[in-house]
Amino acid sequence: MKSLQIHKNADAVAELELIGPGRGNAMGPDFWKELPAAIAELESDPALRAVIIRGSGEHFSYGLDLPAMAAEMGAMLGDGAPGRCQIIDKAVRMHQGFAAIAASHLPMIAAIDGWCIGAGIELIAACDIRVATARARFALREIKVGIVSDLGGIQRLPHLVGEGWARQIALTGEDFDAEQAQRIGLLTRIDPDAKHMLEAAYSLASRIGANPPLVVAGVKRTMNERIEAEVAAGNRAAATRNALLLQSEDFAEAMRAFMEKREPKFVGR
C-alpha cells in the first residue's frame, strides 16, 4: 500500500499507520482505495484483538489531499449533471473506509499527535476511543473550503461531543487544542508526548483485548446500531449537497485562495 502500513506484534494489537504520501499524511486517491482493504486485512487475522490508528511523523493527518484529489474532481466539475452524479458516487465510495472502521468487530483506538484536520477528524470520529498528545490540535475546516463535511464527521460528532459543540466545530471551522478536545469529550486521555501516548494506547488495547472477543464485538455492534442509519443518511445528504456546492463561485474562490495562500472572499454564490 502507498498510503497505509500495517504493523503487527505478539500481543494481539496491530497498528494502522497513515503514511501519506501527501504532506502531513494527507488523504489522497490511494488512501480512499486502500483503507477498506486494510481494514479487511486486519479483520481477517483471528489473533488480533484491537487496532491502534496513528499517523507517521509529527502529525496525525492534514485531512483531504486537495491537490492530489483535484485531477479526479476537476473532470467531474466540468461535466454538468453527469459530473454531479459522479461526485455523489465518488463520495459514497469514500464513505466505505470510515464505515469499515466504525463497523469492524475490532475495537479501533485513534492515537493522535500533532494536527488532525478535516477528514482526519472524521476518521477519528469513526474510531471507538481517541487518545492524544498534549500538542495535538484539531479542526474541521470543510466549511472554510466551501463544502459540507460529508465523511461522517457531522453525523458522528454530536454523539461524541454533544450537539452544541459539534455545531460550533462544524460551523466555525476553528482550531482547538487537546485540552478542549478532552473537555468536550472527543478525547478520553492526553499524554505528554507520542511515546507515552502510544504506550497508553497499547495498554488500553490490551485491557480491551483481555475481554471475550465475541462480546467486545457485540458491544461495539450494539452501540453502532443506534446511529448507523443516521450516519448513512446524513452522508448521502451531504454528498448530494456538495455535488451542488462544488459548482459554486465560493468553492472556486476557496480553491484559489488555498493555492495562493490567502484568505478567501466569499460572496454567497
- Indicate if the pLDDT at residue 80 is higher than 80: no
Distance CA 244, CA 246 (A): 6
- Indicate if the pLDDT at residue 22 is higher than 90: no
* Over residues 13-37, mean pLDDT: 95
* Over residues 232-237, mean pLDDT: 93
Q: What pLDDT score does 107 carry?
A: 98
The model's confidence at residue 172, banded by pLDDT at 50, 70 and 90, is very high
* Over residues 86-112, mean pLDDT: 93
The model's confidence at residue 116, banded by pLDDT at 50, 70 and 90, is very high
For helices 153-161 and 228-245, angle between their N-to-C axes, nearest 10 degrees: 130
- Indicate if the pLDDT at residue 158 is higher than 90: yes
Domains of the chain (ranges plus CATH)? 4-260 (3.90.226.10)
Tell me how far the alpha carbon of residue 168 is from its chain's centroid. 18
pTM of the entire predicted model: 0.94
Handedness of CA 155, 60, 195, 41 (dihedral sign): positive
What DSSP state is assigned to residue 131?
E
- Indicate if the pLDDT at residue 10 is higher than 80: no
- Indicate if the pLDDT at residue 58 is higher than 80: yes
Best-predicted range by mean pLDDT (4-13, 49-58, 241-250, 254-263)? 49-58
% of the chain residues with pLDDT over 90: 78
* 3-class DSSP state of 229: helix
The order of strands in the sheet holding 50-55 is 4-8, 13-18, 50-55, 108-112, 129-133, 189-191
Q: Which of 15-19, 36-40, 44-48, 245-249 has the lowest mean pLDDT?
A: 245-249
How confident is the model over 191-218, as pLDDT tens digits? 999 999 999 999 999 999 999 999 999 9
Q: What pLDDT score does 235 carry?
A: 92
